[in-house]
Structure 1
C-alpha cells in the first residue's frame, strides 16, 4: 500500500473514530423519522441552546497544530484480569471497568453492560485508527450472563458492531439505545432485541428496575453523511439500591443537564462520568467535559460516588495519557471532594459502591 493511501486511511479512521466527519449533509435522516421536538428538526438532532460541532476548518487547524501528546504503546492496568460473579443481588451494587467507556454494572440480580467495546481499535477499520493501549479488563469469555446492553450513542468508541454481534451470539441481551441507533445496530445484529427511546422516555426492564433516557450535550456520526441523524443520551438506571447516572460523552453545557437530572431524580448513589478526551478546549469543550467540569457535575447532580471513564485506553485527543488523573486530583482538592468519592477507573478495577 502506498504511503499516501495509508495516510489517508489513517486520517479517515481517526476522524470516524471520534465521529469527526465533515462532509455534505443530506436533507433527510438515514436512521430516524419522527415528529419535530425541541431537539429534533425533522432531519437532525441537536442540543437545545447548546453548541454545534466544530466545522471542517477548525478540524484541520486542530489536527495539524502539532500539540498532540505522545502516548505509550502499552499502558497496563494496575489491576489483574477479573472474572465477575454470575450475579450481584438485592441492593448491592458492583461496577467493573472494562476500559475507555465500557462498564459492567451488577445489581438487583441483573447484569448490564454499557457501551461495550472489545475490539482492538475504535475505528470503522480493523487495521487503522485509534488502537487501545491496554486490553479489556474482563475477558469476553469470562463475562457473566448479560441481560441488558446500553449504547449511549453511535461514535465508534461507544458503538462497536463486532462486539454487539458477539454479545448477541453469546448472550442474546436486550439492547437499549437512543432513537435511530437501532438502524445502525441491525446492520450487523439483524435479529437483536432492541428498544429505542427519546429523552424523557422510561423502560421497565424488570419488576424493580427501570431505564430512563436523559439528555446530554453531544452529537453523533458513523459515516460521511449522517451527522446528528441518530440521538445521543445519558441513562439513569433506577434500582432497589438507588439510582445510577451514566453519561457516555458530554460537554458541560453550563451544568444544565446535571441540574435537570438532580431536580428530576433527587440525587444518585453513583454517577459514571467522562473526564478525559478534552484537549484542546477550544475544539472539545462542546462535546467533552474536562476533569474540573466532571467534578462540578458530580456535585451538581448530587452523586454520592463517581466512576471516571473515557481516559487511558485509546487516544482520541491531545492530552497526555495521565493528564486526566493529575487534573482530576487537583479538581477534587479544589472542590473539597474526597478522592475516594470519585474514582478514575482502570481496566479490571472493581468498585463495590457503598450504600448512601
Structure 2
C-alpha cells in the first residue's frame, strides 16, 4: 500500500529538515581552507609515514593473481541496451567509471579511459584490464559527475575528450575543482559542498532530476603539497519517477589506524535518512590492503556491505576494483570477500554483487 499524500509530504519535510541540519554543519572545513573528515572513524597519517608505506607496500599478490588470469572479464558494450535503456540501468566501465541511465537522462561518473592513472602516461599504475570503450564510443551524455581529484577519478586525458564531444554537458563536482574542470574545456560546472542539491531538467524529459553532493570518508591530492586542498564526496541522483541512485565515489568506513574505539563513519546512515532507500547503488569494494595503511580512505568488502545497509540500498554493485594495481590484495579478492560477507549476513547473493567490465544491469 502506498503512503497517503499527507504522509509523503510529512516524510519529505523531515528529510529536508535533516538535510538542512547536516548542511549547516561545516566541521569538515578547516581554518586553513583545507578539508577533513570530521569523524572518529578517520585518522590521518603523517605525509612522510603514508608515502613511505605506499612506496614499500608489496604488490606481488596483485601481480601474481593477474598473471594467473584472475582479472575480471571485459565485455563489449551492449549497444542495444544502452541505445534503448530501461528507466534505470547501470554500465560498469572499469574501476569507478560508470554510465548511469535514469528516466531518459545519461550520467557519466568518474570516467578514466587512459592506460595509466597518473599525472603522465609513461609511469604510474597501468591498466591490467582494458577499457570497454573510449569516449567516442559513448552514447549522448547529459551529465558528468566527478567525485574528487585523484588521478584514478579525475583523468585529464579522458575529460578533455568528454568536453570536446559534449560541449554542453553539465558537470557536478566538489569544492576546489572548478578551475581544473574549466581548464579542460567544460563550460557548465556546478560545484557542491556536502549536502548541496542541484535540480535540473533534460530536454524532452518531463520532470526534474536532483543531484545531491553527499559525504564520503576519503581525502584528495594531485601532488605532494595539496593534500586535502579540495573536497571529496559521494553523489545521489534522483530521477523524476522517484528512482534513487547512490554513487560512493571513493570512500572508507572505519580506519584501523589509531581508531581504538573502532568508530564507523556516520555519514552513510545520514545519507540513508535523507535520501534512502535507494533503487540502485555503486559502492567501492577494493584497494584496501594493507588495511593499516588504506582503511583510512578505502572500505573493505565487509565494510561496503555496511554502507549498503546504512543507505538502504535495494541493489548494489561493487566498483573501484579490477582495473589498476593500487594496493596489495589479489585482484579477485574483493568480489570473493563481498560474496562471503553477503552469505554470512543472510542476504541474497545478487543483492550486492559485481559486474564484468562493460556489463549493463537493468533495474527490475
Q: TM-score range by the shorter chain?
A: 0.7 to 0.9
Alpha-carbon shift at residue 241 of structure 1 (Å): 4.1
Given the alignment of the two structures, is residue 289 of structure 1 paired with residue 289 of structure 2, yes or no? Answer: no
- Aligned equivalents of 1:300 and 1:131: distance in 2? 33
Q: TM-score, normalised by structure 1?
A: 0.84
- Aligned equivalents of 2:170 and 2:93: distance in 1? 19
1:274 corresponds in structure 2 to: 284
Match of 2:83 among 86, 105, 130: 86
The answer as to whether partners of 2:74 and 2:129 remain within 8 angstroms in 1 is: no
Structure 1 residues 87 and 213 mapped into 2: Cα distance closer, same or farther (>3 Å)? farther
Match of 1:134 among 129, 135, 142: 129
Q: Give the SS at the match of 2:315.
A: strand
**Residues 242-278 of structure 1: CA distance to partner in whole angstroms, max 9, x if unpaired?**
1111111111141411110111123111111000001
Alpha-carbon shift at residue 37 of structure 1 (Å): 2.8
**Residues 106-160 of structure 1: CA distance to partner in whole angstroms, max 9, x if unpaired?**
0111110000111111000111100111122234322111110000000000001
1:111 corresponds in structure 2 to: 106
Superposition pairs of residues 100-249 of structure 1, within 5 angstroms: 100-172=95-167, 173-189=169-185, 191-206=186-201, 207-239=207-239, 240-249=241-250
Superposition pairs of residues 252-271 of structure 1, within 5 angstroms: 252-253=253-254, 254-271=264-281
Alpha-carbon shift at residue 63 of structure 1 (Å): 2.9
- The runs of 5 or more residues in structure 1 that have no matched partner are 1-34
The answer as to whether partners of 1:68 and 1:317 remain within 8 angstroms in 2 is: no
The answer as to whether partners of 2:127 and 2:324 remain within 8 angstroms in 1 is: yes
Superposition pairs of residues 323-338 of structure 1, within 5 angstroms: 323-338=333-348
Alpha-carbon shift at residue 36 of structure 1 (Å): 9.8
The answer as to whether partners of 2:217 and 2:265 remain within 8 angstroms in 1 is: no
Given the alignment of the two structures, is residue 38 of structure 1 paired with residue 31 of structure 2, yes or no? Answer: no
Alpha-carbon shift at residue 57 of structure 1 (Å): 2.2
The answer as to whether partners of 2:251 and 2:299 remain within 8 angstroms in 1 is: yes
Aligned residues: 317
Alpha-carbon shift at residue 335 of structure 1 (Å): 1.1
Alpha-carbon shift at residue 78 of structure 1 (Å): 5.2
Given the alignment of the two structures, is residue 57 of structure 1 paired with residue 49 of structure 2, yes or no? Answer: yes
Q: TM-score, normalised by structure 2?
A: 0.82
Which stretch has the larger CA shift, 74-83 or 265-274?
74-83
Structure 1 residues 78 and 44 mapped into 2: Cα distance closer, same or farther (>3 Å)? closer
Which stretch has the larger CA shift, 95-104 or 237-246?
237-246
Q: Give the SS at the match of 1:194.
A: strand
Q: Give the SS at the match of 1:333.
A: helix
Alpha-carbon shift at residue 345 of structure 1 (Å): 2.4
Cα RMSD (Å):
2.0
Q: Give the SS at the match of 1:268.
A: coil
